[in-house]
Amino acid sequence: MPRTNGQIDAVDLLTQQHREVKDMFDRFENMTDRAKVSKKKLADEICNALIMHATIEEEIYYPATREASEETEDMVDEAVVEHASAKNLIAQILEMDPGDDLYDAKVKVLGELVEHHVEEEEKEMFPKTRQLKLDLVALGREMQARQQEIEASQ
């Protein structure tokens, strides 16, 4: 993975976050119905991680990608629409309790939506981004700084 002076680039940072969220979804999937407190805690953790991830993508990564090439516009537009769907589900999940009807189903559907989104980013958008004339290390630094701000406010 391309790193400069021990710094992670933007694509590697986002890919790392994708892996972390997938691991959380996998852990959630393996929990029993009786683990309500643990389920709520993990689902909230997933939602907060996704909110942070979507924020740094929408504020920093997507605008830079869109600005660098007209070829990326449709990909970015689709990703933003996918984020809107995920945010809708996230808002619902954060308001719910694990005993509520459809709680597990909503977390599962959110996981499927995120999995689809991640696949498109990693197979289409990220390779395209690597071809563009972007300073991915500088972008990664900016994204990490914004991530720390968001995490400090959660």
pLDDT band at residue 110, thresholds of 50, 70 and 90?
Answer: very high
Helix/strand/coil for 56: helix
Helices 10-29 and 136-153: crossing angle in degrees, nearest 10, is 40
Q: Which of 78, 90, 87 lies closest to 120 in space, CA to CA?
A: 78
Contact yes or no for 55/146 (Cβ under 8 A): yes
Residue 100 CB contacts under 8 Å (≥ 6 apart), including other chains? none
Task: Tell me what the mean pLDDT of segment 32-56 comes to.
Answer: 95
Which residues form the domain of 119?
3-153
0.75 surpassed by pTM: yes
**Per-residue b/e over 54-87, b at no fewer than 16 CB within 10 Å?**
bbbbeebbbebbeeebeebeebbeebeebbeebe
* Res. 3: pLDDT tops 60: no
Give per-residue pLDDT as tens, 80-95.
Answer: 999 999 999 999 999 9
Number of structural domains found in the chain: 1
* Residue type present at position 13: L
Q: Strand 3-4 vs strand 7-8: parallel, antiparallel, or unpaired?
A: antiparallel
- The token pair that represents 103 in the structure block: 């709680």
Give per-residue pLDDT as tens, 116-151.
Answer: 999 999 999 999 999 998 999 999 999 999 999 999
Contact yes or no for 139/61 (Cβ under 8 A): yes
The CATH number of the domain where 100 resides is what? 1.20.120.520
* Residue type present at position 62: Y
Question: What does the alpha-carbon distance between residue 71 and residue 76 come to, in Å, rounded to a whole number?
Answer: 10
